[in-house]
Amino acid sequence: MSLTEHLLRPLLTSSAARPLITHYDDDAGSRIELSVATLANWAAKTANWLVEEFDVEPGDEVAVDLPAHWQTAGVLLGAWWCGAHVVEDGSGARVAFAAPEAGARRAAATAIVSLDPLGRGLGSAPPDGAFDYLAEARLSGDEFSPLFPIPGDTPALLGTTVDDLLARARERATAAGIGAGDRVLSTREWTLPEGVLDGLLAPLAAGAHLVQVSNAVPGKLDDHREAERTTVNLN
């Protein structure tokens, strides 16, 4: 079973409509809330796009160089759903996901992620040979079923297997005091692998609601904690 199925299936079964990730960007002044079902929808679209457009199979490398953002969550969960091995170096990757300012990545193809708060695409043509991730992936199917079995020993993140990554995420959640039903406020960047483990996977593995704040303004954090009624801080 894929890492994404391990993380989302229990939540889709029990509470698909409840909020799972709330993303603030203090620079943009934006707040976006994604339910379990909405995040799963974006992950499914991403997985379908990777399989249909780039023939990604379990173990194939997909490079991700993106900041902590709700769109990054959809990219990562979509990549893991189809069994991709998430890496930093795009030289051997089927596709590399990059922010608009990152420039071309060394990969067979580059997918530019707009990081627009409202989920809009780039608004202009991507560089030659690149793809507008949001414009392209949103046309893919809302549900995903892996074409191949994804064993637990499939590499998922920088050589760490699905089973080991899931175990480490659960360990990190326990160490941070994150449990089911917690509301976790985090300002951590999703660097690979530690930032993704602590800032994204640990809350999801625990069944918690993640409130991710990007470009955090210190004076606003208390307001976010109060508005979101957070119970755990990851700063």
For 147-177, the pLDDT digits (tens) are 889 999 999 999 999 999 999 999 999 999 9
Tell me the pLDDT band of 143, cut-offs 50, 70 and 90: very high
Tell me the pLDDT band of 106, cut-offs 50, 70 and 90: low
- DSSP per residue over the chain, as a string? --HHHHHHHHHHHHHTTSEEEEEEETTTTEEEEEEHHHHHHHHHHHHHHHHHHH---TT-EEEEE--S-HHHHHHHHHHHHTT-EEES-GGG-SEEEE-GGG---SSS-EEE----TT----SSPPPTTEEEHHHHHTTS-S----SS---TTSEEETTEEHHHHHHHHHHHHHHTT--TT-EEEE-----TTHHHIIIIIHHHHHTPEEEEEES--HHHHHHHHHHHT--EEE-
Flag whether the pTM goes above 0.85.
yes
Q: What is the rounded CA–CA span in Å between residue 48 and residue 124?
A: 24
The answer to whether residue 39 scores a pLDDT higher than 60 is yes
Q: What is the rounded CA–CA span in Å between residue 11 and residue 229?
A: 21
Are 38 and 138 within 8 A, CB to CB?
Answer: no
pLDDT at residue 75, rounded to an integer: 98
Tell me the pLDDT band of 36, cut-offs 50, 70 and 90: very high
Domains of the chain, CATH where assigned? 3-229 (3.40.50.12780)
pLDDT at residue 16, rounded to an integer: 95
Amino acid at 40: A
The answer to whether residue 208 scores a pLDDT higher than 80 is yes
pLDDT at residue 105, rounded to an integer: 55
* pLDDT 10s digits, 51-93: 999 999 999 999 999 999 999 999 999 999 999 999 998 889 9
- DSSP per residue over 183-206, as a string? EEEE-----TTHHHIIIIIHHHHH
Omega before 151 cis (within 30°)? no
pLDDT (average), residues 204-231: 96
The answer to whether residue 19 scores a pLDDT higher than 90 is yes
Percent with pLDDT over 70 in the chain = 98
The answer to whether residue 104 scores a pLDDT higher than 60 is no
pLDDT at residue 127, rounded to an integer: 79
* pLDDT 10s digits, 107-129: 789 999 999 988 888 877 787 77
Are 85 and 62 within 8 A, CB to CB?
Answer: yes
Averaged pLDDT of the chain: 94
Percent with pLDDT over 90 in the chain = 86
* pLDDT 10s digits, 178-197: 999 999 999 999 999 999 99
